[in-house]
Each structure stands twice: as structure tokens, then as C-alpha cells.
Structure 1
Amino acid sequence: MIKLGFNLLFICLYCFPFVYFSMYQDFSNGSMIGYLLMVISTSIIAFFAKYTKNTIAIILGNIISMDISFYFITKMQGNEPWAGYFKPLTPLHLLITTNTTPLTHIGQLFKYHTSIYCYATC
């Protein structure tokens, strides 16, 4: 029951549209603080999820966060300055790039951690 509670907590924390928030902060304020907050907060959530062995929450939360960010980014598509701000990428390409890169690194870390654990115990 506690594991289910942790899973739901991590999924709910991860559901925040981090990529959209970062892109919006960059567009409206010209500030990269949003990207920094995204990296720090997702790293902390992923660390605690991995620490409590709730790795599925990281993947589900990231997918849901990407979906929510995708919704908000498509709502901004009619805004011409928004579409041209993130050149040479479009906002949707930046969403995909920004959202899949951490998953790749997290997957590599889990694989590395598992191989070290297996090597030490096998």
C-alpha cells in the first residue's frame, strides 16, 4: 500500500509540464531559469523514485508530463513569435528533444546501476 502511495505521489509530482514551463519562461522572460528548475526538480524526483524503487513512476510521469506540455505547446502554435523563437527547432521538436534526453540518461543510469549490483552480488 505504501509503494502504491509513493508511485502516485511521484507520478503526480512528475505530471507538472516542466518542458512547457521552461519554454514559456524562456520565451516570455528570456530567462534560462526554467530549464534549470526542470533539470533540478526532475532529477530530485527521479532520485527519490529510484531510491524507493518506484522506477515505473518516472516513466509514466514523464509520459504524462510530455502529453500535458504537448497540449499547452499546441495551444501556443497560433502565436507567430512563439513559433519562430526556438529556431532552428520548432517548439514541438524542442519538446521531444528536451523530454526524451533525460529518459535516455535515466535509462542508462538504471542499467549501469543494475549491472554494478549484479556484478557485486553474482
Structure 2
Amino acid sequence: MKKGIISILLFSLLSFPYVFIAMFLDVSQGSMLGYGIMAVMSLILGYTARYFGLVPVLVIGNLVSLVISYYLNTTMAGHEKWGWYFKPLTSQQLLIVVSILNLIPQILGLTIHRNQKDKPKKARI
């Protein structure tokens, strides 16, 4: 029961369109803060997925997030700022590149947990 609740919560957090929100903040505010928040959340969610043994949820959540971000991005494509802001790439191309780069912190989170798990524990006296 507990693992089911955790997997639903993890899936919900992973399905959030982080890439779209980061790009939107970049266009509307000129702020890179969204990319930083996205990277930190990816690291935390990757670690959490490995900790609870929910790596398949991580993969499915990433795909859902990409689809939602892509849909929101294509509906915003008519907005005049989106057409010129992300040159030399289009906003859809940048969305895919950032989504792929977003896997790096998640893989790092998976690796950190594996390395912590593999370390021998010190004996307490």
C-alpha cells in the first residue's frame, strides 16, 4: 500500500511539465531559475525513484512530462516571442534537447543512491 502511494506521488511529480515551465520562465522573465529548479527536482526524483525501486515509474513519468511539455509548447508556438527567442533552435527542438539533458541529473541521482548503497557500513562501538 505504501509503495503504491509513493509511486503515484512520484509519478505525479515526474509528470509535471518542468521543461515547458523552465522555457516559459526564460521567455517571459528572462530567468534561468526554471532550469535550475528542473535540474534539482530531477536529481531528487531520480534518487527517490532508485531508493524505492521505482525506476520504471521514472521512465514513464519522464515520457508523460515530455508529451505534456511538447503539447503546451506547440499551443504556445503562435506566441510571437517563442518564434525568435530560442535561436538557432526552434522552441520544439530546444524542448527535446533540454528534455534529454534533464536525464543527466536523474541518472546522477540514480548513481548517487547506488554508490551509497554499495559502501560498506562502519561498525558502531
- TM bin, normalised by shorter chain, reads 0.7 to 0.9
Aligned to 2:82: 82
**Cα deviation per residue 1:21-41 (whole Å; 9 max; x = unaligned)?**
000000001010010011011
Q: Which sits farther off after the overlay, 24-33 or 93-102?
A: 93-102
Higher relative contact order (CA 8 A, sep 6+): 2
1:18-71 CA-partner distances (Å, limit 9, x unpaired): 000000000001010010011011211111111111111111111111111111
1:103, CA displacement in angstroms?
A: 2.9
TM-score (norm 2): 0.81
Query: CA contact under 8 A between 2:17 and 2:68: conserved in structure 1?
Result: yes
Q: TM-score, normalised by structure 1?
A: 0.83
- Report matched runs for 1:15-94 at 5 Å: 15-94=15-94
1:52-104 deviation per Cα after TM superposition (whole angstroms, max 9, x unaligned): 11111111111111111111100111112212100111111111111122336
- One-letter amino acid matched to 1:97: V
Q: Does structure 1 conserve the Cα–Cα contact (< 8 Å) formed by 2:45 and 2:109?
A: no
Greater helix percent: which structure? 1
> Given the superposition, is the C-alpha separation of residues 110 and 40 from structure 1 closer, same or farther in structure 2, using an over 3 Å criterion?
closer
Contact 1:6 1:54 in 2 (8 A): no
- RMSD over aligned CA atoms reads 2.3
1:103 and 1:14 map into 2 onto residues whose CA distance is 12
Q: Distance in 2 between matches of 1:66 and 1:83?
A: 20
- 1-side partners of 2:27 and 2:104: how far apart? 26
Q: Work out the CA distance in 2 between the residues paired with 1:102 and 1:13.
A: 14
